[in-house]
Amino acid sequence: MASLSPLAYLKVVLHAAKYPANTVIGLLVGTVDAASSTCTVSDAIPLVHAWTDLSPMTEVALQLAQIYADQQQLVFLGLYVANERLNDQAIPHGAQKVADALRKQRPQAFVLVVDNEKLASPEPALIPYTCSKTGTWTATTLASAKISPSDSSIPQKAFSAARKGRYAELGDFDDHLSDSSVDWLRNPRVAL
């Protein structure tokens, strides 16, 4: 079971809104309660919008994100993807390779694909993918994957923030490569 914080959902939506003509990929980070096997996705780290295939830049971003997560006592719980095509709900090849690597560290890792057609909806615009024992990523529902937003009003709030242009406050690693002052790991300007 996983709970998705409002901040994590907001960052996913803002990352997708900032680069609607690109596929965007990011990490879902948080904590795991070993006693109950529940996890809380407390934050999202926007990785890339230009280097979406496995490239040296993506690998550097992943390594820096790992260092940051370790310092914050967070773990990688999964990955999020928003595809460039409106009705594309698949995991792109490069993102799948990253997800496979995450799964080696955490077998319960999951991928959330943004359902671009539902972004304006009051329900979460996310399609969870879980991995079978054979290594196949399969789309499911949030209920089946036992993933839920911790605040049911966040989809509407995130959509409203995107419409107001708040995506300009968010940066990913590609933005950091263009402007080193972009704090892509924390994105402190993004808040509810």
Within a domain: 185: no
Within a domain: 24: yes
Q: What is the CATH number of the domain that holds 42?
A: 3.40.140.10
Within a domain: 178: no
Within a domain: 180: no
CA distance 90 to 114: 10
Within a domain: 14: yes
Residue 52 pLDDT: 67
CA distance 55 to 39: 29
Residue 120 pLDDT: 86
Q: Among residues 79, 83, 69, which one has the least CA distance to residue 100? A: 79
The total number of structural domains that make up the chain: 1
∠ Cα 163 27 84 (to 5°): 50
Which tens digits make up the pLDDT trace of 156-176? 999 999 999 999 999 999 999
pTM: predicted TM-score of the whole model, two decimal places: 0.95
Q: Which domain holds residue 21?
A: 2-171
CA distance 94 to 81: 11
Segments of the chain with pLDDT less than 50 = none
Give the dihedral of Cα atoms 18, 119, 10, 191; nearest 10 deg: 80
Within a domain: 188: no
Query: What is the DSSP pairing of strand 75-82 with strand 24-33?
Result: antiparallel
Within a domain: 86: yes
Within a domain: 56: yes
Q: What letter does residue 112 receive in the DSSP assignment?
A: E
